[in-house]
Amino acid sequence: MRLKEIPSLLPDHLHTSADRLPSSLKHIQMSQDEVTMYYPGCGQDMIWPMLTLQGLAPDASKWTIIGQDITDTLGALISTMQAITGQTAFSKMKTDDDATSRGARFRFKGKIIEIISYNSDALGGLPPHASSGYDIYFERGFELMRSQRPGFLEEALFALRTGGLAITDAGLPDTTRDVKRSKARMPAWGFYKNPAIYVKTGERRV
């Protein structure tokens, strides 16, 4: 996926950042065949997670994006994915955990891309698919929300698999345990701060 496939989805001032993002992650690429990202407060955003996954896991056969938001955004996420991929076809997924979640599965350039959308408050707790373990914690503009529940970040990073990555535009508190800031640098996301990448070094819950 290249920017030329999604120019109509971004304002002009973000084109350079979006085009640079995948290549900025090449030297910290993940080797696993299936990669799962947890994105609390995702809203209708699918572009930045997709560009990030393209940079971090280009050779994976399956990407799973777990989005969680207080509004029901699955329809918008599907529409954005259709615009990104140029494909209208997708299959509905059964998530088999609770009534707040729904999912959609796409096939694109040899990959399976799954969107699991939770219509719930992230501060109320991690959704089942995330609490069982995931590979990338991804947030944009979520610092104010997570500051309202001090224990949220610790819980989220506890479920992050060892060797996994935490990506945030707000940085992590110095007191955050079991993570180390990576030297990798990502381009700014418009008016958001320059995002930072952290590597999970400690153990996680099984």
- For residue 206, what pLDDT is reported? 35
pLDDT digits (tens, 9 = 90+) for 114-137: 999 999 888 888 998 899 999 999
More confident residue, 109 or 39: 39
pLDDT exceeding 90 applies to what percent of the chain?
33
CB 129 within 8 A of CB 66: yes
CA dist., res. 59 & res. 179, Å (int): 25
pLDDT, tens digit, for every residue of 10-36? 777 677 777 777 788 888 999 999 999
Alpha carbon 107 to its chain centroid, in Å, reads 18
Pick the most confident of 84-88, 123-127, 188-192: 123-127
Distance of CA 127 to the CA centre of its chain: 14
| Token code pair at residue 154 | 């610790």
What are the DSSP E strand ranges found in the chain?
A: 34-40, 62-69, 91-93, 101-108, 111-119, 134-139, 160-168, 179-181, 196-200
Each residue's pLDDT tens digit, 170-186: 778 777 888 999 988 88
Kindly give the pairing relationship between strand 62-69 and strand 111-119. parallel
* pTM for this prediction: 0.89
**pLDDT value at 105 more than 60:** yes
- Closest listed residue to residue 25, CA positions, set 190, 187, 181: 187
Q: What is the mean pLDDT of the chain?
A: 84
Residue 37: pLDDT over 50? yes
Q: How far apart are CA 143 and CA 168, in angstroms?
A: 9
**Residue 189 confidence (pLDDT):** 66
Nearest one of 29, 41, 30 to 145, comparing CA atoms: 41
* Orientation of helix 15-24 relative to helix 47-56, angle to 10°: 30
